[in-house]
Chain A
Amino acid sequence: MFRVSYRDALRARALPALLLGAAVAFPWIFAAAAQSGRTVEIDIAKFAYAPKEITVAPGTKIVWTNHDDTPHTVTANDKAFGSKGLDTDDKFEHTFASEGDFGYICTVHPFMTGVVHVRKQ
């Protein structure tokens, strides 16, 4: 019993350090993991969505944050999802359950466009 507990304790202490080391050494693994995981962030800044185009796995939640002093919206071209007017630092989130290509615009500034591709990975 003692030995098992000791080993578990060691593992528990080593795991975060191992993960951190791996994240530093192999960042692309973690970028990919974020895409197939739960939440992805998109910034709205300087009248543009960044990234403008993104590919995620089904079930991914996307969170948009407006960093501009000007209000923007996130509004699906087919109106399937849409935010209210987002003031500075306001957020909007939407979870993409199924595969597809989801174009969206800012209805205040329709020249601002973005697209979310949802693909099984």
Chain B
Amino acid sequence: MSTSDAADQGHDPARRRALSCLAAWTGAAVVWTVSGGIPRALGATNAGSVSPAEKNALTFVQISDTHIGFRKEANPDVVGSLRRATAHINSLPQAPAFVVHTGDVSHLSKPEEFGKARELLQELRVDRVHTVPGEHDTIDEGVTGYLKYFDHDGKGKAWYSFDQGGVHFIGLTNVLNFKAGMLASLGDEQLAWMKSDLTSVSNSTPIVVLGHIPMWTIWEPWGWGTADSQEALALLRPYGSVTVLNGHIHQVLQKVEGNVTLHTAMSLAYPLPTPGQAGIGEPGPVTVPAGELAKVLGTREINVVQGKQQLALIDTPLGS
């Protein structure tokens, strides 16, 4: 199964078959390695087990789109789904250094949703949880309400960077700065910050970028893209290893652009249609048959091995 470069296939039913293959896949995980910028599936692990990470590897986990506060038919128990993911992460043979959450922490940007989410994320047995805001986290007052709960560096900005395990991490906000009818964007202020942030990072340093909306245009009529992502990618192009982790579309897709690989992730709340899916005119929650939901929700483990321009990604559904 390969979902590589799937975004270019838009309406192609073959891509939907690939996704349904993903959905039908029971409890196993596919290991992706990124070598020379080309993701390659190494093989499936046995149900419930994860390949041991190499020594000296930095391991972290990506979760996304928890939508705390959502309680409709597509998933009446998003809290239970996050707790199930937490139990999985807490039981990983090699404890991850931290967890990243690529946005839509809440469903309606309500303070009680942010508060509940923060409480739930504290159940993760990791040092830190790094988040970026999704459009569901910025509904009534931009990032202000979100920052009351998730101001990671105390600077009052929802974008930030940090270094860990020899990797430079950049968290971005790409859900605001839009014009009517247009895609949301990073905006000039954030791009200028990113440019200045990168001046002290050597080209051989692996970079991992976190952003909610995909940093490439997957399906513009549904807002599945970032208006000025090419400007950000231009800043990243000189670097030998760039991995962009996104959420928003509640399904796994990949794209490769030179040394830059971009990945979207599964949600922990509910599935969404495939991009522009025939017969579904809007990107709203999809209700799957009872018992199928855990197969389309999931987490992602990422291993960065020192001295190798290689990241291994393991996507694991919540259940079979």
Contact = CB atoms under 8 A, between A and B. Distances in A.
A78 B104 CA distance: 26
A47 interface: yes
A84 B145 CA distance: 13
A108 interface: yes
Contacts, number: 60
A103 B182 CA distance: 14
Interface string B57-71: 000000000000010
B179 A110 contact: yes
A39 B125 CA distance: 54
B214 to A, nearest CB: 14
A80 B314 CA distance: 48
Given A46-B282, A105-B180, A111 B223 contact: yes
A47 B223 CA distance: 11
A59 interface: no
Given A46-B282, A110-B179, A110-B223, A69 B72 contact: yes
A84 B73 CA distance: 23
Contacts of A109: 135, 223
Contacts of A46: 281-282, 284
Interface residues of A, number: 21
A47 B181 contact: no
Interface residues of B, number: 27
A85 B108 contact: yes
Interface string B213-229: 00000001111000000
B233 interface: no
Given A46-B284, A70-B284, A71-B139, A113 B181 contact: yes
A110 B108 contact: no
A110 B180 CA distance: 6
Nearest to B220: A111
A93 interface: no
Contact of A87 (B108, B178, B281): B108
A55 interface: no
Contacts of A103: 180
Interface in A66-82: 68-71, 73, 77
B180 A113 contact: yes
Nearest to A110: B178
A107 B74 CA distance: 23
Given A70-B285, A71-B108, A88-B72, A108 B180 contact: no
A114 to B, nearest CB: 10
Interface of A: 46-48, 68-71, 73, 77, 84-85, 87-88, 103, 105, 107-111, 113
11 contacts: A46-B284, A47-B222, A47-B281, A68-B284, A69-B72, A69-B73, A71-B108, A84-B140, A105-B180, A110-B180, A111-B181
